[in-house]
């Protein structure tokens, strides 16, 4: 039995789901706002917050942790440490905002925009 395992499955197997979350997290950091469904936005919000908190620490161990999460994205890692982390130096949390945009026309999924505050 798998007790105390949380998170949304989003009708995907483990590999594609992890890839989706990493790609969305990179997109939010790179573009600072992404339009997606509500369930996906709620799931990646915490992941983005963790990456920004690590970048605020700014030491070598934090940089290595971020690089381990995004090994093929050196520009995103640089932007996270050089631009985004100093911008949120005075905040302890609450780096992301989810704004509702209404329902998608095709399947009536609730669309939102997740953005950095």
Q: What is the pLDDT of residues 12-67, one digit of tens each?
A: 999 999 999 999 999 999 999 999 999 999 999 999 999 999 999 999 999 999 99
Assign 98 a pLDDT band (cuts: 50, 70, 90). Answer: very high
- Quick one: CATH architecture of 14-32+39-93? Alpha-Beta Complex (3.90)
Longest CA–CA span in the chain (Å) reads: 46
Inform me whether the pLDDT recorded for 2 exceeds 90: no
Residue with tokens 């790179």: 30
pTM of the model: 0.90
Burial classification of residue 51, based on how many CB atoms lie within 10 Å of its CB (0-12 exposed, 13-18 middle, 19 or more buried): buried
């Amino acid at each position: 039995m798998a007790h105390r395992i949380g998170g949304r499955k989003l009708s995907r197997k483990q590999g594609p789901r992890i890839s989706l979350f990493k790609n969305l997290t990179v997109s939010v950091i790179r573009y600072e706002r992404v339009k997606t469904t509500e369930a996906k936005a709620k799931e990646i919000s915490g992941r983005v917050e963790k990456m920004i908190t690590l970048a605020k620490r700014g030491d070598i161990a934090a940089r290595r942790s971020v690089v381990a999460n995004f090994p093929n994205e050196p520009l995103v890692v640089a932007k996270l440490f050089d631009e985004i982390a100093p911008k949120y130096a005075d905040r302890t949390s609450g780096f992301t905002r989810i704004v509702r945009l209404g329902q998608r026309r095709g399947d009536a999924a609730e669309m939102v925009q997740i953005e950095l505050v």
